[in-house]
Amino acid sequence: MTERNAPETHPDISAAPPLLEARNLVLAHDPAHPVLQDVSLGLHPGQTLAVVGPSGCGKSTLLYALSGLIRPLRGEVLLSGEPVQRPTQNISIILQDYGLLPWRTVLQNVTLGLKIQGVPRKERWQRALQQLADVGIQGREHDFPGALSGGEQQRVAIARAFVSRPSVLLMDEPFSSLDALTREKLQRILLETWQRNRTPYLLVTHSLEEAVFLGRRILVLAGTPARAATWFDNPGFGSPSHRDSDEYFRLLRGLRRSVESLW
């Protein structure tokens, strides 16, 4: 690749085998009309991937297939080389609507997965309280989700996703319903949390700015049915000041030009 903001020719930038891999996925609600066609991708240990595409192109459907919630029409999903055929505790997912149980407190929501895993009560409370502190929502553990703002609920969702120490984290437009300042704040919190534990994540987003800030690699989906149209490498990813750098704006301009030509 001759320019940092040019599309990647070879999307697999790590020599290590992918932790999560999709091979030639074909996804469809109606078998006669695929939503996604022959999509392949790899998420490597410690890496992050942002996926952008027009509304209705199947981005959320891709996440559901990667998490084992739906079965592909063709192709396969592998986690550490093993087929993903149903939901697993090794893959956490954050949805647009936060997915919190309104009748459970913040602490109960965050510890629910640990309880299912059989983690002793004292340990799961300790881990949950530490994770809540990491995302900046101390002192609200006994409140119910209805008493929290949208940004606070999303912090709880982030804490719940990370506290179980999954192998992979998947996110479906997690900040789309938030105001601009809250969204940027939570993007920084997500980045800081990733820097502490290096849990690889795949983020689906409509926002090109968010993709460039949170994705070490960026995949652009386009077409009908949607395919993996092009890849971008983002070497400046991970720096808190990346959003203010010339490199960030160069990549954003290149990504925008690519999207405008494809969509």
Position 15 confidence tier, pLDDT thresholds 50, 70, 90: low
Please give the average per-residue pLDDT across 85-98, as a whole number: 86
Check pLDDT > 70 for residue 152.
yes
Residue 106: φ, ψ to 5°: -55, -50
Answer yes or no: are the C-beta atoms of 19 and 80 closer than 8 Å. yes
pLDDT tens per residue, range 16-66: 789 999 999 999 888 888 999 999 999 999 999 999 998 888 899 999 999
Per-residue pLDDT at 12 exceeds 50 = no
Reported as a single tens digit per residue, the pLDDT across 189-205 is 899 889 988 999 999 99
Q: Strands 201-204, 217-222: parallel, antiparallel or unpaired by DSSP? A: unpaired
Q: At 169, is the secondary structure helix, strand, or coil?
A: strand
pLDDT at 237 over 70: yes
pLDDT of 73 strictly over 60: yes
Give the pLDDT confidence score for residue 214 in this predicted structure.
Answer: 96
What is the predicted pLDDT for the residue at 253? 96
Cβ-proximal residues to 118 (8 Å cutoff; 6+ apart), any chain:
none
pLDDT level of residue 8 (50, 70, 90 thresholds): very low
Contact 211, 50 (CB under 8 A): yes
Q: Is the pLDDT of residue 254 over 50?
A: yes
DSSP 71-103: --SEEEEEETTEE--S--TTEEEE-TT----TT
Mean predicted confidence (pLDDT) in 233-252? 92
**Mean residue pLDDT across the chain:** 89
pLDDT-derived band at 178, boundaries 50, 70, 90: confident
Q: pLDDT value at position 239?
A: 85
Report how far apart, in Å, the C-alpha atoms of 13 and of each of 63, 115, 125, 263 are.
21, 37, 38, 26
Domain residue limits, the chain: 15-56+65-90+168-205+213-251, 97-165
pLDDT of residue 98: 74
State percent of the chain over pLDDT 70: 94
CATH class held by domain 15-56+65-90+168-205+213-251: alpha beta
Give the Cα-Cα-Cα angle 102, 95, 125 (nearest 5 degrees).
Answer: 55
Q: What is the pLDDT of residue 95?
A: 81
Q: Is the pLDDT of residue 240 over 50?
A: yes
pLDDT tens column, 124-149: 999 999 999 988 888 899 999 999 98
Burial of 23 (0-12, 13-18, 19+ CB in 10 A): middle
